[in-house]
A and B are shown apart, each in its own frame.
Chain A
Amino acid sequence: MRTTTRAAGVALLALTAVTACSSGSGDTGAAASGAAAACEPAGEPVTLTFTSWIPGIEDVVALWNEDNPDIQVEVQTGPNGNGGTYQNFFNQLEAGNAPDLGQVEYDALPNFRVQDGLVDLSACDDVVAAQDEFVDWTWQQVQLGEDDAVYAIPQDAGPMALFYRADLFEQYGIEVPTTWEEFATAAEQVRATGGYITNFSQADVNQFAGLVWQAGGSWFGNDGDQWTVDLTSEESEKVAAYWDDLIERDLVSTYPGWTTEWDNAYNTGEVWTWNSAVWGANSIMTGAPDTAGAWRVAPSPQWEDGGESAGNWGGSTTVVFQGTEHVYEAAQFALWLNTSEEALTALIEAANLYPATTEGAALPALAEGVEFYGGQPIYDVFAEASTQVSPDFVWGPTMTQVYNDVSDGFSTAISGDQTLPEALAEAEESTVAALEAQAIPVAS
């Protein structure tokens, strides 16, 4: 009796933010969802393990542990996904000792799915009921093309906009570009002053993917029978040719991203803009502290005059890994972490996350002006961008390999030995080969 009331209490707590919820009790519908894992409460206290790299996540989880003595969550932290944590996850899944919950970015979800690493949470009624709370495209990303499946709970999004040095643009009388054409013209003007308008980091292939996303392209398709790989679509080639031209004419710098050298280029004012995701706001603050107050945020340049399209870079989810014995409890925690006002406010404050729920994105913590950006309420720009992100972009099942191969190709291109479109064509070939090596059906 006591455990059931507790479980009900937990369910209620997780649902505080749910408005369009019909019923939070009962999980008897599990069998109907086919492959979906059963979602039954354990009926006894459980301890879950959760691996994440979000700074300050321990404090957020501590809030949950305080209120939920029967579902205790132990946090392990590691480097960011491609920095090593994904590799650990894959190894742990192979060894059968993966944590119950993990932090996984949208672009890596198909990769884990194809290794059979993710639990389908669609048997959990609370999870299904939470769909309406999330921004459409984020939910689309966790369904992986299956109508009834839910492979992760979206946590944050990375809608993209243009961070720019307002002071420098003003000082040299250069207009802040609103289209990519203007951006190229401005690039010439900026170069004439000795600086670079932006940096092209060959290893940030997911940023490049965000630019293709904005242009309306998609790199992958999955019709249920086979995958299509389309790194060389018209949109993708257009974006590649555009940047190839800028690199060729030495109008953009090419420092490897996330390095001291790169920080230095921004901190000294050598590089003027960064077309980046909302979480990039934090990266500039820590990487270029000397430029405080000089930055502003504008919508990303558009391909067409007056266009309204935004790309997305990054953003992650909370997944439940195969091998867990507590799907129900894990789902409850994941929902609380990513929908409750309490958790989201803590995440915003600790890590500048931009929530994937519509209510989360409207939290007071995001409405204020940001001092580093001259008091501009920058999140308004990203809120606008978030509604303009296309839901149709599909990630492939071997993104780690795709990123490596595209990045290697880009690196050759930066050295001047080939072009960016050629690099994409090569990576498309190697990606098809990589899918075949994993016995993943692919249209060639």
Chain B
Amino acid sequence: MTTAVVPGRRRAPRVTHKRAIAVFVAPFATLFTLFYLVPIGYAVYQSTLVVEREGTFGPPTQVFGGLAQYAQVMQSSAFWDSVLRVLLFGIVQVPVMLGLALLFALLLDSPLVRGRRFFRLAFFVPYAVPGVIAAIMWGFLYSPNLSPFRPVTQSVDLLSADLVLWAIANVVTWVFVGYNMLIIYSSLLAIPAEVYEAARLDGASQVRIAWSIKIPLVMPAIILTAIFSIIGTLQLLAEPQVFRTFSSAVTSTFTPNLLVYSTASVPNVPLAAAFSVVLALATFVLSFTFLKVTQRKAFQ
């Protein structure tokens, strides 16, 4: 943008740069188009189809059906139930997880803590465990008969219909606290030392520094992790899918993505595509709204 000051001189070199830019961008652009834009376009296209056939075993033909599938989505109580379920999940789990992540990050950053490198690694290690493996491991820990903590799991059935959502929330929290902590922590490290020095000269305690200086300054990082978490919550799939092998309370429509998966295996591909598109839009709207609301406060 700033180059526009001397237009005549700059134009010639920019043409040759264009090729270089194209070369550098091409690998990304190709993959982005092939594996992101095209599939999304295809899903949108499929969501506009309806199936037609004649007779009980007539061969199916797919024809354009406008918004017929979206009408189905709007009427699907299973879909909206699953969306409400993950929203409830998110409202409870995301603040808990980010609260813990922030607390751990602040502790690591505080000059009072020893063994900083050890704790940083220890908190982060669960994230290195693949989500599916983590879910299997926790599934066994929760199990009434196979758990090493049987006295607990037999008196409180963590896999029952009432509690299984929160059992899953615990798994997700366990996996992602360290990851979010690391993002917040690296943001804390970027705060210039002079700010702290000034605060100390003014007589601020460590708690006061954390509350009045650190947290406001890392707010952008917290918002970033919150948006990642909101997206992740709406896309929950692996953990509930694994928990289906431990608990009879996890249905095939437990989360929106599970519903998409089981609809696609009917196979009712157009409806599954419509579910996906609506879910993507909902995720976008939710993240964007969150960003708008928080940005106003955080970045002023």
Contacts and interface: CB of A to CB of B under 8 A. Distances in A.
Contact of B246 (A86, A201, A261, A411): A261
Interface string A62-101: 0000000000000000000000001100110010000000
A224 B53 contact: no
Interface in A91-133: 91, 94, 110, 113-116
A367 to B, nearest CB: 37
From B250, B251, B271, residue with most partner A Cβ within 10 Å:
B251
Interface stretch (A2-10, A237-245, A252-260): A252-260
B146 A261 contact: yes
Interface stretch (B199-207, B211-219, B262-270): B262-270
B145 A264 contact: yes
A255 B249 CA distance: 10
Contacts of B253: 404, 408
Nearest to A405: B252
Interface in A191-223: 201-203, 222
Contact of A434 (B248, B251, B268): B268
Interface stretch (A279-287, A296-304, A346-354, A435-443): A435-443
A276 interface: no
From B53, B266, B268, B271, residue with most partner A Cβ within 10 Å:
B266
A185 interface: no
A170 interface: no
Nearest to B250: A411
Contacts of B41: none
A356 to B, nearest CB: 23
B252 A404 contact: yes
Interface in B245-294: 245-253, 262, 264-269, 271
B52 A440 contact: no
A437 B55 CA distance: 14
Contacts of A224: 55-56
Nearest to B57: A113
A254 B248 contact: yes
Given A411-B249, A417-B161, A437-B271, A264 B146 contact: yes
B248 A256 contact: yes
Contacts of B140: 260
B50 interface: yes
A415 interface: yes
Contacts of B252: 404, 407-408
Given A411-B248, A411-B249, A225 B56 contact: yes
B26 interface: no
B160 interface: yes
Interface range for A:
35 or more
Contact of B262 (A255, A264, A404): A404
Contacts of A116: 59-60
A201 B244 CA distance: 12
A114 B265 contact: no
A392 B177 CA distance: 56
B266 A401 contact: yes
A256 B60 contact: no
A134 B53 CA distance: 32
A437 B268 CA distance: 8
A265 to B, nearest CB: 7
A415 B146 contact: no
Given A114-B60, A261-B146, A441 B50 contact: no
Contacts of B57: 110, 113-114, 144, 146, 397
From B72, B247, B265, residue with most partner A Cβ within 10 Å:
B265
Contacts of B249: 411, 414-415
B56 A87 contact: no
Interface in A36-52: none
A414 B56 contact: no
From A87, A224, A407, A437, residue with most partner B Cβ within 10 Å:
A437
A132 B140 CA distance: 50
B51 A437 contact: yes
Nearest to A114: B57
B56 A438 contact: no
Interface string A390-422: 000000011011001001101110110100000
A256 B247 contact: yes
Nearest to B59: A116
Contacts of A412: 161, 251
A239 B229 CA distance: 45
Given A439-B50, A439-B60, A441-B56, A434 B266 contact: yes
Among all A-B residue pairs, the 9 with the closest Cβ atoms: A415-B161, A116-B59, A408-B251, A404-B252, A90-B267, A401-B266, A87-B265, A259-B245, A439-B51
13 contacts: A87-B265, A114-B56, A254-B248, A261-B144, A265-B145, A401-B266, A407-B251, A411-B248, A411-B249, A437-B51, A437-B268, A438-B51, A439-B53
Given A404-B262, A411-B249, 11 more contacts: A224-B55, A226-B56, A256-B248, A259-B245, A260-B140, A261-B143, A261-B145, A400-B266, A411-B161, A412-B161, A437-B51
